[in-house]
A and B are shown apart, each in its own frame.
Chain A
């Protein structure tokens, strides 16, 4: 019996995921994390299984990790920032960034957190993100509209785009992969990468390499996942692109 359980566990890829957080994941398998998981399971030769838990209920992501990965109910979180504290991560498989979103027709001269136009528009931002830090450093949070998509299990990142459409805000600042999928329904909106900067003296980071997360004692699985990332990167890229994820690639250089 025990042997059977071990064999079964070894033949499964047990993914921890949110059942209701598109575009990332849902229980119907419609998010990009679901699709990434399918590709990874295929190349590992394992059957995909899910442990569902909300990342956005009380306690947030930390509670989610505690209740799923740390409780050994599952072994892999598909999409976490590279080098996240308290997790082991694989090598990064994509890099994206925070973006400014606004109506194209506005024609804002908006290229960085220091663009003067930010002092003259209504800004919306997700709380507890680098966007909030950058706005605070420039005394721009008073008058700006905070969003808490990550705290409300039923909220969609799309709310920010709707707020721009409804002129409740003029410029939204958010993580691009959270809204890339919805942008196709908003052809009148445009996005601009928020560049990393030291303009206020302190380094401000807006682009992040993203990786897969697992328990720190899982050396073998990490190596297997890294091999999949190395060998099938283009397939992972294709999935992300289908979901409108825009890559930021600092490795590109002139040769």
Chain B
């Protein structure tokens, strides 16, 4: 009973009338005695409430503060910096060989799981792949406290580009926020799963869906959009955490008033129009389906935008800003402060949505507040996150050949003309392939070694750029994209990157694209899963494999680690799929399928099969 009361009290403090009504409803289920007691206590709590609300003015600090407690995992990337690093130290390189499965549970979904659980207090919350079940698990007894499955517009499943994946939930202030594939965002009461508000951020009928995890910053919920294949004009939206009202919406293309590149912006104005021909910016792409990060001190939010609208580059002359761009924005207004475009006029499909990791590191010997980004185009970028100044850009896979280097003055790639794609010409041997040297799978920072541990893809492609033709009544495009393993025959690797000089320290080759994220821990361990179904622990310093275990399905999700009852746990979602594994996800296990466009992971079916499970390990 004490627990219930504490729960209700916590729920009463600083909540809306609507929520209070819900709480009341719950209270009806116990006795009137308790209800009145609760109300009395609520009144008494008024004083506490005022203090709480004063603290509430700095809500971002409280979530940021929560993230400093290594026992919990309160946001997708562990902290606002997206470092995915844990101070927990019970599991060490010496004892990791004793790691065992502590408990497991089915997610009830079979498609690709690209997310991670959150742990807040004694509760764990996570979201499955489509149909996007959300589970709240009481870690004290491993019972399911509540589940939530949104009723979805089934059409969404048919327009999602690359499997029906999801990348997780967000939490703040007693609310679990989830985005469904069909574009609906739900705020759920963390204590009972009831819907507090819902908001629409994408329209499947227009090719728009949501796969990314939201991020909550300063009382706004940031939600992106997927659907670059359909010429969606990308945007990031901020919703008020309390009521779901839209606070701002920042497009990737269009006039300054749409891209919010106004008075605070250090960069060219109206470039979201002037770098396009005619009205093409209206279908300009630049979707926002990656990971978002935030620097509370600078009060800047960071994220990347995807490929420009149409696949046919000759159809869109110009730099096509702000596709393929890192944006720094104010979270409360959405106003952009700086922007950096990595791949102007993309002709290879190198989306720029991969995570931005914020770390104070040495670059060329100089301490700097940096933003580190491993782009799909194969270059690792390090920028001064205060102003977007480019400090370093080096290949993180030596096979990258579409550009020789990045011009440090202009920030533009020095494109190797041999690999520039041209309409009607089959250009062979381009590295990386369209999937990139790395996709959304998040890297981790390890402050103990100073390395970034990066999961990578290693595929190359033949590419005949699109040219549109007409066959008397029937439009079609001439295009060839063929992907195959890169030099050495491995299709992926996990690498360690020294940010000081942008050099690769070690490389662990993988048979398939390393499409699972990384977590690093204080004791010098890094954990990750592979598409062929192994969950591994390696030595951060050397890359040496210390432990592995075969999982129910291949892994494209991101490990977390947390403490419960004084014990360290590591958790991972197993459940293969995603772009690299969609052949399997869509039932295309026949290795002779894909004659025209070889899927770079066609033989995956020999190693694993579909199915979502949460697997939790401990010593």
Contacts and interface: CB of A to CB of B under 8 A. Distances in A.
Contacts of A184: none
Interface string A215-255: 00000000000000000000000000000000001111111
Contacts of B433: 201
Interface string B215-232: 000000000000101111
Interface centre among B433, B466, B472, B483 (most CB of A within 10 A): B472
A129 interface: yes
B231 A250 contact: yes
A203 B183 CA distance: 23
Contacts of B158: 111-112, 192-193, 195
B220 to A, nearest CB: 17
B328 to A, nearest CB: 24
Nearest to A55: B472
Nearest to A80: B470
B349 A203 contact: yes
A84 B469 CA distance: 5
Contact of B477 (A91, A130, A200, A255): A130
A251 B206 CA distance: 7
Contacts of A202: 434, 479-483, 596-597
Interface string A128-145: 111001001111000000
A137 B476 contact: no
A85 interface: yes
B590 interface: yes
Contact of A201 (B183, B283, B468, B483): B483
Interface string A184-202: 0000000011011111111
Contacts of A207: 230
A227 B240 CA distance: 41
Nearest to A65: B470
Interface centre among B183, B315, B469, B592 (most CB of A within 10 A): B469
Interface in B168-225: 183, 200-203, 205-208
B425 to A, nearest CB: 12
Contacts of B466: 205
B279 interface: yes
A128 B466 CA distance: 15
A91 B278 contact: yes
B200 A254 contact: yes
Give the interface size bracket for A toward B: 35 or more
Contacts of B282: 251
B235 interface: yes
Interface in A168-195: 174-175, 178, 192-193, 195
Contact of B279 (A91, A139, A255): A91
B470 A81 contact: yes
Given A91-B278, A137-B596, A199 B472 contact: no
Contact of B588 (A84, A114, A129): A114
B473 interface: yes
A253 B232 contact: yes
A127 B315 CA distance: 25
Interface centre among B158, B201, B315, B592 (most CB of A within 10 A): B158
Interface string B576-619: 00010011001110101111111110000000000000000000
Contact of B476 (A18, A128, A136, A157): A128
Contacts of A24: 473
A143 to B, nearest CB: 14
Contacts of A45: none
A116 B587 contact: yes
A138 B594 contact: yes
A76 interface: no
Contacts of A43: none
Given A112-B158, A201-B599, A201-B600, A149 B473 contact: yes
A82 B587 CA distance: 34
Given A249-B206, A251-B282, A82 B315 contact: yes
A196 B229 CA distance: 7
B345 interface: no
Nearest to B285: A250
B206 A253 contact: yes
A111 B164 CA distance: 13
B377 interface: no
B161 A198 contact: yes
Interface stretch (A6-14, A34-42, A56-64, A66-74): A56-64
A52 interface: no
B314 interface: yes
Contact of B579 (A137, A198, A210): A198
B203 A252 contact: yes
A157 B473 contact: yes
Closest 10 CB pairs between A and B? A111-B158, A202-B597, A202-B481, A114-B586, A81-B475, A55-B472, A252-B206, A137-B596, A208-B475, A250-B230
Interface of A: 18, 21, 24, 55-56, 60-61, 64, 80-85, 91, 111-112, 114, 116, 126, 128-130, 133, 136-139, 149-150, 157, 174-175, 178, 192-193, 195-205, 207-210, 249-255
20 contacts: A80-B470, A111-B158, A129-B474, A133-B596, A136-B596, A139-B595, A150-B473, A150-B474, A175-B474, A195-B207, A196-B230, A198-B161, A198-B229, A199-B162, A202-B482, A202-B483, A205-B479, A251-B206, A254-B202, A255-B249
Given A81-B468, A201-B597, 9 more contacts: A83-B315, A150-B471, A199-B161, A201-B599, A204-B597, A205-B479, A208-B468, A251-B283, A253-B232
